[in-house]
Structure formats: structure tokens, C-alpha cells
Amino acid sequence: MDAGAIVNEFCAAWNRGDVEAIMEAFSEDAVYHNIPMAPMEGKEAIRAFVASFLGGMASGVDFEIKNQLVQGNLVMNERVDTIHMEKGPVALPVMGVFEITDEGKISGWRDYFDMKQFTGG
């Protein structure tokens, strides 16, 4: 298992807007936490968020990985997520932390970003 490759493919699935590939990457008991918001626990809660998030965009999102570090089953990446909204694109600097199970699934994902920058406040 290559934890870095798993995260790279996961980010590429976001770039394609491929909800099924995004969801396939998670373990059943995964926790996804956008740090400014409440965490989502379990695949169904995560799926609801992902579908809503991608559905609310004009033309999707691009995850551009700037730097990535891998240590065992832990992956940290510095990204710029460009979110293509109806009002125009929002480029959001993000720090992501991914925990990968021995089976190659994402069991924990935390993204740290500035909510005010995302909302334009």
C-alpha cells in the first residue's frame, strides 16, 4: 500500500467530480472534518456532504497539491483548492491530514482552512 498514491488518486477523483470514486476511498467508519465545521462521521454522512458540495458548484473543484509528506499511514498535503462557484472561482489554501488504514482506505481526513476566505467574509 502506498498511502501517498491513495491520497493523490483521491484528490484526482475530486478534480473529476467523481462522487463514487471519492466515496470508495473511505472506510465505512471514516471521519471527515473540515475544521471550521462539525465533523462528519461514517460514509453516509460524508456522501451527503460531498454530493451537496459538488452539486453547489458551477463546474467543480480543482485540488492542486503543492507539497505532500507521507509517513507510514499518515499523509499531509498542502493544497490550493479552487472551487468554481456561480459567482466565480475561490482559491482556498488548505492543509489536509489523511489517515489511511492498512486496507488502503481513508479513515480520517481533516482539512484546515480559513472559513472567512471561503465565504468571502
- Catalytic residue set: 81, 111
Q: In 18-109, which residue ranges form alpha helices assigned H by DSSP?
A: 19-24, 43-55
Task: Name the β-bridge partners of 81.
Answer: 63, 92
The counts of H helices and E strands in the chain are: 4, 6
Which of 108, 120, 114 lies closest to 3 in space, CA to CA? 108
